[in-house]
Structure 1
Amino acid sequence: MTDAVTDLRDIPFLTADGSSATLRDYDPRDGEGVILVVNVASKCGLTPQYEQLEELQKTYADRGFTVLGFPCNQFMGQEPGSMEEILEYCSMTWGVSFPVVDKIRVNGSHAAPLYKALKQTPTVEGEKGRITWNFEKFLLTPDGAVHRFRPTTKPDDPKIVQVIEAHLPA
């Protein structure tokens, strides 16, 4: 495991109830799991991706995978609700069972430290920097790699599924 992933997995953020946590706290295999970090929103054209995120969670959770949702209201105010409203919406509308943590900022001077670090990862096209929209995805693997996928790449895209399957036990 590289220092970059160790550092990423140790950057604190707040949970939905206001407690401090790190990615390590959500790693089902203590540093050997695969985590998909996604900035989410409830009122976005991409919001139906919740369904695919939940399907990934159900399919791979028992092998050491988890989705971690980070609500963000920076893109046209598409996540305006309180944490209670966001959690209820995710559960009731999409049946979300994966963790959804406290609302954050992903861009700008007040961006969450985890997202400041994640944005250093280039996409497959070689682009890094700003989060472009809701549902940008970062897949952290035990070998130290971080794979970045743009918002329009669906969670069940073969490129994402191949990375997940390659890093989980059979």
Structure 2
Amino acid sequence: MNNPFSKTFSSSDLETFKFLGSIKLFERLRNKEMARFLPALHSRKYKMDEVVFFSKDPSQALYVVKRGKIELTIDIKDSFETILEVGPGQAFGENSLLENAKRTYTAIVKSEDADLLVIPYFSFQEIFASNPKVKAKMMTSLAEYYNENNQRLFRSYRSSFGFFRLREMFE
């Protein structure tokens, strides 16, 4: 039996929840919890070769790709090395969930154009302050994401025969 006092969502809201729910950081959240993010979602359009953010910038927002391709690069001397390409249904700028974080990579649009959903850092902080369960769920997902990245890093390190000193990572 349906609760007559429970919140009902529009088909557009449900579509947004389905989309967000497919993204690692939001996968643990129920619709009611994701609804808190609706006022914080901003749509932005970018053109090819436009920089979304630079490495070392303050992490001021999380970006979710609705359409297009974004290249995540790191600076190596005078050039850039692509570390990952993200597309529809993927997020980047995940360290914006953390306080006082700086970008670790540069994000550049690599498709003709791109449509991104942007969630500002301050929105996360407001939602987390009033909803500790949402924060716990999202931080657990973030920790799993970082753990998966560490696993990939160590696999890559092993397969490259120790091309660099892994100990430098902790110095």
| TM-score (ref. length: structure 2) | 0.30
Q: Which structure features the higher share of strand residues?
A: 2
Q: Which structure features the higher share of helix residues?
A: 2
Larger Rg: 2
| TM-score (ref. length: structure 1) | 0.31
